[in-house]
Amino acid sequence: MKKTEAGRSRLFTRRALVLGGVQAAVFGVLAGRLYQLQMVEADRYAMLADENRINLQLLAPERGRIFDRFGQPLAANQLNYRVVLVPEQASGVAETLAALRAFLSLSPEEEERIRLEAKRNRGFVPITVRENLTWDEVARIEVNMPDLPGLSVEVGQRRHYAYSALASHVVGYVGAVSEKDVEGNSDPVLSLPGFRIGKNGCERTFEGALRGRAGSRHVEVNAYGRVIRELARDNGVPGDDHILSLDMGLQEYVCARLEDHSASCAVIDVVNGEVLALASVPAYDPNVFARGVTNPEWEELIRNPRAPLSNKSCSGQYPPGSTFKMIVALAALEGGHMSPGEWVFCPGFMRMGNVQFHCWKKGGHGSMAMIDGIMQSCDVYFYEVARRVGVDNIAAMSRRFGFGEILGIGLPGEKAGLVPTSEWKLATYGVPWQKGDTVVIGIGQGYMLTTPLQLAVMAARIGNGGYAVTPTLVREIRRRDGTQVATPREFASLGLKPEHMALVRDGMNRVTNDKRGTAYRARIEEPEFAMAGKTGSVQVKRISKAERERGVIKNENRPWKDRDHALFVGYAPVSEPRYAVAVVVEHGGGGAATAAPIARDVLREVQRRDPARRTGPALAAPGRVVG
């Protein structure tokens, strides 16, 4: 009996010791873990707790503004009034919306969106009911706010374009961020609801500088995510302001002058390359895109046969027609292929094999020297010049005047045009270049393609005596800290002989100021404003031999799409050139009848608006431009 009790006692003691050991081990582990949490990792968990209690929220920066050369705002930031709904503060979402209908018209789609957001989100999360409220709408809602529980009016910012369609292709517009915009872009501000970025024009080209740097605010929240208070705020860095070279007074005049056409016009300072006007009509209202374009509005824009969304001034590509003849003449003179006084007889056509290439003047011009060929725009004369010079030499001269390349004005969609060569045709079509191809290049048709901006640059380089001026659109960038950024510009000489440039300029002067010139009727009669220029017409529909024998139908009697394009390039004043212009009127008929009068009025207006610049400094020395 005693042995049994002693055994039980020892067994109990062992079990008690084991249990005590297990308990001690457990408490040791717990104590170690508590020490680790409270002492070793205390800072880490304190930080995590703060992050759970304190939220970091991004703040959209103020977008940089865009101005014209005289400080007129082209793209600015306006107050955006919006009404928001906090569901938990409302007596009921449906009841509140019903009460709001008395003061604000809501579509069924808008109400459905609001109800869905109310179901998805927590009750304290604000829901945007409507943006871009008018002041009258804001006033009605504010006056009746006691009867509209859960609703409030907030103030934000929206992009506004004061000149609407007048500069839409240059300034562009902002739009909602798409998935494509986010790809490869790590800027977290793009994820902000309602954030908008540049989609076209300068808004897109200079997006990074205009956007600025996002700010942030630290807010304390409770366990449900409700904001308790704001702890700190950093408003970020506003975007840079951009001052363009555009003169909006002149731009408005140009657009009004082009209004009845599908056309484009570029006006350039021949001394420093600043673009004073760059118009493409018809255009579109960028404010529509800034607020969000509707499907009917989009359909109307894309179905318009005159392509209002296209920036014709630097994206439209057209054969240059007879405005190209100065380039052909310079290629001949510089290469020694023809002397200025050499005569070519024009009977109204040139025969090459069994093909006839016609002059625009049916009866012919008779004997023509180079200056006469430019003045009267004789096609046969330039057929012969091109035949002697060859396409590759013409192409080389073309490139010296800015054709066949992106000029780098800084607008999306700028096209390079096309300067064909014998090698290009063989590579593109697999057939060799033909003599007939060269002949039609001599009058700026065939494969040759240019943009109105390139034509204006050509006129500027001729007008300034042969300097490689390039178009610039941004005069200055102003940061909000007061610093200014301006890019100095230097232009090298094209290396052409002065006597050859003088002959071409004399020919262009006679086009407008000699009674035999093709644009004499469109001349500027004030001597101090006198312009030099060159007309051009480009066939859109090929005229067959049968049609020519029956009699060519006049442009005004053809369907609009079959009419010739009308072109004109020029510069003014003749005595001391300062401004160059190029006008292209799609299906406008003859260059002398349609494009030249527009260019005349524009060149007169740009000189009238800025008379001080006519007597300002000109080219100081080869390679450097001042003014």
Provide the annotated active-site residues: 322
Long-range contacts of 479-487 (CB under 8 A, 24+ apart): 479/240, 479/241, 480/237, 480/238, 480/240, 480/241, 485/240
Span between the terminal Cα atoms of the chain, in Å: 124
Dist. CA 550–CA 157, nearest whole Å = 64
Classified as helix, coil or strand, 58 is: strand
Q: Look at the chain and count its residues.
A: 627
Contact, 504 vs 371, CB < 8 A?
Answer: no
Nearest 5 degrees, angle CA 192-CA 123-CA 175?
25
Contact, 422 vs 432, CB < 8 A?
Answer: yes
Closest CA to 507 of 373, 323, 368: 373
3-state secondary structure 448-515: CEECHHHHHHHHHHHHCCCECCCCECEEEEECCCCCEECCCCCCCECCCCHHHHHHHHHHHHHHHHCC
Dist. CA 292–CA 479, nearest whole Å = 29
How far from 368 is each of 360, 479, 517, CA to CA, in Å?
Answer: 15, 58, 13
Question: H helices of 68-134, where?
Answer: 93-100, 108-120
Question: H helices of 197-244, where?
Answer: 201-205, 207-211
Nearest 5 degrees, angle CA 587-CA 571-CA 615?
150
Contact, 81 vs 138, CB < 8 A?
Answer: yes
Written as six digits, the tokens of 89 are 């503060």
Q: Which residue has the tokens 């003047």?
A: 361
Closest CA to 604 of 621, 588, 587, 581: 581
Written as six digits, the tokens of 77 are 């930031």
> Residue 269: exposed, middle, or buried by beta-carbon count in 10 A (0-12, 13-18, 19+)?
buried
Contact, 148 vs 141, CB < 8 A?
Answer: yes
Q: Report the 10 Å Cβ neighbour count for 84.
A: 16
DSSP state of 280: E
> Residue 157: exposed, middle, or buried by beta-carbon count in 10 A (0-12, 13-18, 19+)?
middle
H/E stretch holding 325 reads: helix 325-335
What DSSP letter does each residue of 561-624 carry, written as one string? GGSPEEEEEEEE-SSS--EEEEEEETT---IIIIIHHHHHHHHHHHHHH-HHHHTS----BTTB
